[in-house]
């Protein structure tokens, strides 16, 4: 262990800072999955990156603390590995794009590492967290100056890494505000949120129920127009395509739509999302992408196109669109299937 540094100031404040940084990184990570608008996405992903980098910057101090411990529990090692996997996944995603590492996609490694770390971290806190809480002197001028200095160095490191990413022409340079990397429509993987199956549907017999009516695919095509939109998946890629799609507010009965709280779009697989009723002019039933019928995995014959919303809102294999009294916020923030 001679390679581990012995930093004098390593201690309670290191642990406390790590707690704040990791909890913050976890929270902003989920928030980043939910955001799509450029300004909010930039703020959230930058905060997420700063918090993660801050945690990484504390490793030498944490290593000093670990070195002082007489015994090591396997669980602590597992926790360290999970956090490491999460960090590696995050860096790979930023600098190399949505590639695979050891059979896992970068985002699977990143989110998987974080999810494995959570229960281990909770046990770790219960076991070692005593007397590690904040103290009054953490707010002293000197302590605050040190915290500010640490924050400033982390921010400098962040800017430096971003610049290196650009100069070296790495994938980091072309990221969207959400952090996603651009891919060609032909390279879009048919992406399911968790474990949804890919149904193969017959476009000649498939019908989509829209409130009190039902449409054949041909009827939807006849009501369609071109819609350019960006499909931005939370797994780290986005693609720009021009969809052939019919606007939902033109298919839904006007009076009922005005009275409804939300619109529920359901897939033949059962996957569904609730949208505020006022979103209807920005929701489209699409039958083609760039002039072609999409592959079955991409939602044919009818999929939702929801410009300005992240990919998991773009329900594939749409079976029904129903008006609902339920407010759109009364659903889990992310799909559960």
Length of the chain: 337
Using the contact rule CB under 5 A, the part of the chain among 35-43, 122-130, 211-219, 305-313 near Mo ion is: 305-313
- Neighbouring C-beta atoms of residue 118, cutoff 10 Å: 13
Nearer to Mo ion, 232 or 264 (CB): 232
- What minimum distance in Å lies between the beta carbon of 274 and Mo ion? 17
Number of residues engaging ligand MTE in binding (CB under 6 A) = 19
Nearer to ligand MTE, 112 or 297 (CB): 297
- What minimum distance in Å lies between the beta carbon of 324 and ligand MTE? 18
Q: How far from 125 is each of 65, 113, 277, CA to CA, in Å?
A: 15, 18, 44
| Interaction residues for ligand MTE, span 277-296 (CB under 6 A) | none
- What minimum distance in Å lies between the beta carbon of 183 and Mo ion? 13
Name which position in 86, 229, 233, 319 contacts ligand MTE (CB under 6 A). 233
269 binds ligand MTE (CB under 6 A): yes
Q: How far from 97 is each of 2, 170, 173, 236, 324, CA to CA, in Å?
A: 36, 9, 10, 7, 39
Nearer to Mo ion, 79 or 114 (CB): 114
Nearest-angstrom CA–CA distance, 230 and 233:
9
188 binds ligand MTE (CB under 6 A): yes
E strand segments, 110-222: 181-182, 207-210, 213-216
Within a 13 Å sphere around the CA of 155, how many CA atoms are in the beta-carbon half?
A: 7
Angle at 255 between CA 252 and CA 261, to 5 degrees: 75
193 binds ligand MTE (CB under 6 A): yes
Contact (CB, 8 A) for 273 and 289: no
Site string for ligand MTE, 120-159 (x = CB under 6 A): ----------------------------------------
- Which positions touch Mo ion (CB under 5 A)? 191, 233-234, 311-312
């Amino acid at each position: 262990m001679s390679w581990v540094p012995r930093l004098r100031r390593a201690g309670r404040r290191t642990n406390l800072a790590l707690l704040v940084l990791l909890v913050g990184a976890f929270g902003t990570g989920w928030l980043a999955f939910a955001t799509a608008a450029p300004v909010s996405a930039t703020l959230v992903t930058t905060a997420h990156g700063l918090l993660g980098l801050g945690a990484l910057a504390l490793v030498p101090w944490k290593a000093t603390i670990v070195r002082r411990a007489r015994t090591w529990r396997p669980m602590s090692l597992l926790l360290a590995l999970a956090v490491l996997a999460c960090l590696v996944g995050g860096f790979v995603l930023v600098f190399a794009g949505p590639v695979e590492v050891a059979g896992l996609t970068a985002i699977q490694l990143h989110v998987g590492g974080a999810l494995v770390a959570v229960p281990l971290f909770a046990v770790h806190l219960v076991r070692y967290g005593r007397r590690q809480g904040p103290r009054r002197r953490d707010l002293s001028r000197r302590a605050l100056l040190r915290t500010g200095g640490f924050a400033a160095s982390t921010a400098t490191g962040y800017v430096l890494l971003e610049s290196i990413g650009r100069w070296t022409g790495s994938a980091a340079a072309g990221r969207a505000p959400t952090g996603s990397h651009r891919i060609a429509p032909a390279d879009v993987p048919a992406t399911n949120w968790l474990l949804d199956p890919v149904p193969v549907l017959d476009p000649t017999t498939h019908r989509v129920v829209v409130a009190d009516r039902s449409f054949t695919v041909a009827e939807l095509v006849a009501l369609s127009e071109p819609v350019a939109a960006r499909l931005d998946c939370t797994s780290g890629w986005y693609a720009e395509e021009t969809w052939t799609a019919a606007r939902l507010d033109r298919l839904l009965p006007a009076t009922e739509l005005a009275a409804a709280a939300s619109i529920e779009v359901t897939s033949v697989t059962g996957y569904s999302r609730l949208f505020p009723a006022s979103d209807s002019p920005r929701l489209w039933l699409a039958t083609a992408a760039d002039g072609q019928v999409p592959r079955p995995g991409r939602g044919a014959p009818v999929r939702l196109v929801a410009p300005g919303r992240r990919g998991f809102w773009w329900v594939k294999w749409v079976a029904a669109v129903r008006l609902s009294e339920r407010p759109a916020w009364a659903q889990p923030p992310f799909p559960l299937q």
